[in-house]
Amino acid sequence: MAVIGHTEARATSASMTATALSSAPSALAAPTATLPFPLPLPPPSCERPRGRLRSADADFRTGTYPSPPPSSVSSAQSFRSLQSSRSHPVRMNSRPVFIDNTTRVYIPVHLPCGVEVRCCPDVFKSAPLVLRSLQIDLSQCLKVLPWSVHHLIRRTRIWLNNSYVYGDLHNPNMLRHTTTHHDETWLVECAHDIPEKACDVEIYNCMDYEQTRLHWNGCGLILHELCHVLHQHVLEDGLDNESVMAAFDTAKKSGLYNQCLRRDWAGQAEDTDTGKFRPILLLQCFFASQARSL
């Protein structure tokens, strides 16, 4: 009886396995069934694509997407999938895209006091009680102001927003205060808004108005803005009235307004109840603040 070594036994077993696999039917061969969809073809070469990818347009129409090119040639200019361009828009140039505020929707609301409020629809959901606050504040303003200016107050509209942003779409500016538009220059050139808001009062954030009005005994905040309207339309020469300008210069030189008590000290980042009187920086705010305190 012959004894076969381990090396010879492994060689004999390998040759017998190869012979069996070659003579057996195609049990281990690749399946020949036809797939219900075509397989994507590999890229013909690793060259940098030039021009538009026509194959990508064709695949978009048929509902399939091509395989991305090799990483060595993939870039934002050579290849960009449709899905990535939709989810991550790329700014093709350095020119800013400005927010268009001319498309904002306002609903006219006539308060019992006779003042018209142009209200954004979101205000009815976020702060519906702000209309009641405006009715109370404006009624108190009409009691304080003389009868000769009531017609001017009632024809001054109030534009009420839930929130307001303007400027570059990718770096917007958010406003939360209340203001009076003396003309349409800033509205058209900076805010890209409608010029119909000129000579009217605008509240940029209704929730902020509800909180800030508490610092001014209710009607003091909206009365301040109405005094801007009186300054422009009632006084002689409007915003260039010489008497107001002389009083403004005297107040700045006196230094009495460098340290004043603040009404809005609560909740501020700096824990102090005194500070520089902000209206001393602007002529219009100076007149409105002095007229409001009378």
CA distances from 277 to 136, 209, 237 (A): 28, 20, 26
pLDDT tens readout for residues 229-280: 999 999 999 989 999 889 888 888 887 777 776 666 555 666 665 655 555 4
pLDDT tens readout for residues 117-156: 999 999 999 999 999 999 999 999 999 999 999 999 999 9
Residue 27, pLDDT > 60, answer no
Residue 286, pLDDT > 90, answer no
CA–CA distance, 34 with 30 (Å, rounded to integer): 12
Which residue blocks in the chain are alpha helix, DSSP H? 6-23, 54-62, 82-87, 123-126, 130-144, 150-154, 185-189, 206-212, 220-233, 242-254, 283-292
**CB crowding 116-134: b at 16 or more within 10 Å, else e:** bbbbbeebeeebeebbebb
**What confidence score (pLDDT) does residue 268 get?**
62
CA–CA distance, 215 with 262 (Å, rounded to integer): 9
pLDDT tens readout for residues 42-69: 555 444 444 443 444 434 344 444 444 4
C-alpha 82: how far from chain center? 26
Residue spans of the domains in the chain: they are: 96-234, 235-294
pTM of the full structure = 0.63
Residue 86 confidence class, pLDDT cut points 50, 70, 90: very low
